[in-house]
Amino acid sequence: MKDNDPKLDKLLRGARDAPNFVPPKNFADQVMSKVTSCSTNNLIMIDFIMPKIVWAAALVLAVFLTSEVIMNINGLPSLKAGVEKLANTWYLEFDTVIKQ
């Protein structure tokens, strides 16, 4: 690393002594002329798919709500009770594994 120190000092000194760079007046226009505008195909694709995703989510929600009502009418445990039973079973199994 000591061998490169004089070279690094010389490089940094040359950078400090170099004149400042001043971009031309129309630099921003030159940059913007090189940038391509984004394609609207991606936006059209998202615009096409999003309503279908929303309808699918609404359908899933309707199916779950309908199943909850039907299970409640038939005297079966509700989804909440089923999830609570599953969670309690999971925690009991997890506790026995930890205690061993």
Residue 60 has pLDDT above 80, yes or no: yes
Residue 54 has pLDDT above 90, yes or no: yes
| pTM, two decimal places | 0.40
Give the CA distances from residue 80 to residues 13, 60, 61, 65, 93, in Å, rounded to whole numbers and listed in that order: 72, 17, 15, 12, 20
Q: How confident is the model at residue 82 (pLDDT cuts 50, 70, 90)?
A: confident
Per-residue pLDDT, 38 = 63
Token digits of residue 1: 């690393």
The answer to whether the beta carbons of residues 77 and 85 sit under 8 Å apart is: yes
From first CA to last CA, the distance across the chain in angstroms is 57
Identify the burial level of 68 via C-beta atoms within 10 angstroms of its C-beta, where 0-12 means exposed, 13-18 middle and 19 or more buried.
middle
pLDDT in tens, 5-41: 888 888 888 888 888 888 889 998 888 888 766 655 5
Structural domains in the chain (count): 1
| Domain residue limits at 87 | 2-99
